[in-house]
């Protein structure tokens, strides 16, 4: 595996060296992440700490999950140690923009709105968002959410979509997925907008009570980098190309999602995967 990683990394670094040799304008000052990471001697990756199987803290307080293992492979690709920084739905983009993290592997749903604030990579994960509630509740679509106390993580894709399609719901917004699930379990909310993994977490805590009511959206996840940083975006995409081609991403997908990876879209409306 080391030889393969070295080969892929060498090709990426040669391409990056050529690009870095090109003249940068004053407005390109932010497009220096690659140099900063190499000079620092480590890459800082923003991940979630409360959203299994993507990113969570295990019983010892160590980062674990799908995104963490993807991030570890990225460190191998760069031949650098990795520092994981836990971020929330609310602060992850700000953390990227202020330089607290170099890249986000943080269950980052891809939307045209967010694409105005950061640069997405190509997609590397997918998540079917669902409305979840007790089995006894009659909910088959957005119209049934009128007046319903509906919990969502602040700023999440499900929050954005449900605000649009169910404007008459009584929204209660929480800091993260764990808080949203706890609000559902405690009766603070009647239903929740969550990921495809909410139901398994609810089954562990209160089996046989909850079910997925209807899908909201199939959400692709991409890595996030600073807008306009062409070299760093190309580095991340070269890494994702490699782990898709060599089967490492598929292996991690089956391990953590219990699913085969989806068919990856070649494009998404309003969401560029590369810096032009």
Which tens digits make up the pLDDT trace of 166-189? 999 999 999 999 999 999 999 999
Examine the pLDDT at 157 and tell me if it is beyond 60: yes
Examine the pLDDT at 40 and tell me if it is beyond 90: yes
Tell me what pLDDT residue 12 has.
52
Domains of the chain: 2-126+221-257 (3.40.190.10), 128-218 (3.40.190.10)
What is the CA 140 to chain-centroid distance, rounded? 27
* Distances in whole angstroms, Cα of residue 164 to Cα of each of 61, 115, 123, 139, 158: 37, 18, 24, 17, 10
For residues 32 and 105, give the distance between their C-alpha atoms in angstroms, rounded to a whole number. 19
Which tens digits make up the pLDDT trace of 92-135? 999 999 999 999 999 999 999 999 999 999 999 998 899 999 99
Tell me what pLDDT residue 197 has.
83
Tell me what pLDDT residue 259 has.
84
Average per-residue pLDDT for the chain: 89
Examine the pLDDT at 15 and tell me if it is beyond 70: no
Tell me what pLDDT residue 56 has.
95
Tell me what pLDDT residue 204 has.
93
Q: What is the DSSP letter of 49?
A: S
Specify the pTM: 0.70
For residues 239 and 246, give the distance between their C-alpha atoms in angstroms, rounded to a whole number. 11
Examine the pLDDT at 241 and tell me if it is beyond 80: yes
């Amino acid at each position: 595996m080391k030889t393969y990683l070295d080969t892929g990394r060498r090709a990426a670094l040669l391409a990056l060296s050529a690009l870095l040799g090109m003249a940068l304008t004053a407005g390109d000052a932010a497009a220096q992440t690659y140099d900063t990471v190499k000079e620092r001697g480590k890459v800082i990756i923003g991940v979630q700490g409360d959203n299994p199987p993507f990113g969570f803290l295990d019983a010892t307080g160590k980062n674990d999950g799908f995104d963490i293992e993807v991030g570890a492979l990225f460190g191998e690709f760069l031949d650098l140690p990795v520092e994981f920084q836990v971020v929330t739905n609310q602060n992850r983009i700000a953390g990227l923009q202020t330089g607290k993290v170099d890249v986000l592997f943080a269950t980052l749903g891809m939307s045209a709105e967010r694409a105005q604030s950061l640069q997405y990579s190509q997609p590397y994960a997918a998540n079917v968002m669902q409305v979840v509630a007790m089995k006894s509740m009659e909910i088959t679509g957005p119209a049934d959410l009128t007046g319903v106390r509906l919990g969502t993580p602040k700023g999440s894709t499900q929050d954005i979509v449900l605000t649009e399609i169910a404007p008459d719901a009584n929204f209660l917004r929480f800091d993260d997925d764990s808080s949203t699930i706890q609000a559902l379990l405690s009766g603070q909310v009647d239903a929740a907008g969550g990921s495809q993994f909410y139901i398994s977490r609810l089954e562990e805590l209160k089996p046989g009570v909850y079910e997925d009511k209807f899908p909201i959206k199939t959400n692709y996840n991409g890595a996030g980098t600073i807008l306009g940083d062409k070299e760093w975006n190309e580095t991340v995409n070269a890494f994702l190309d490699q782990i898709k081609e060599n089967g490492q991403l598929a292996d991690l997908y089956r391990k953590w999602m219990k699913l085969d990876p989806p068919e990856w879209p070649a494009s998404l409306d309003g969401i560029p995967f590369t810096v032009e």
